[in-house]
Amino acid sequence: MEKRAVIVLADGFEEIEAVAPIDILRRAGIKVDIAGLDKKIVPGSRGIKVETDLLFEEISDADALILPGGMPGSANLAGSDKVLNSVRNLNGKGRLIAAICSSPAYVLIPAGILAGRKVTGFPGTESRFRGIAEFIDRPVIRDVNIITSRGAGAALEFSCSIVEYLAGAKKADDIRRAILIK
Distance CA 24, CA 92 (A): 26
Q: Which residues are catalytic?
A: 101
Q: What would the pLDDT profile of 74-122 be if each residue is shown by its tens digit?
A: 999 999 999 999 999 999 999 999 999 999 999 999 999 999 999 999 9
The answer, yes or no, to whether residue 124 has pLDDT greater than 80, is: yes
Domain boundaries, the chain: 4-174
Q: List alpha helices for the chain, DSSP H.
A: 15-27, 73-78, 81-92, 103, 109-111, 155-167, 169-178
Q: Please state whether the predicted TM-score (pTM) of the whole model is above 0.75.
A: yes
CATH architecture of 4-174: 3-Layer(aba) Sandwich (3.40)
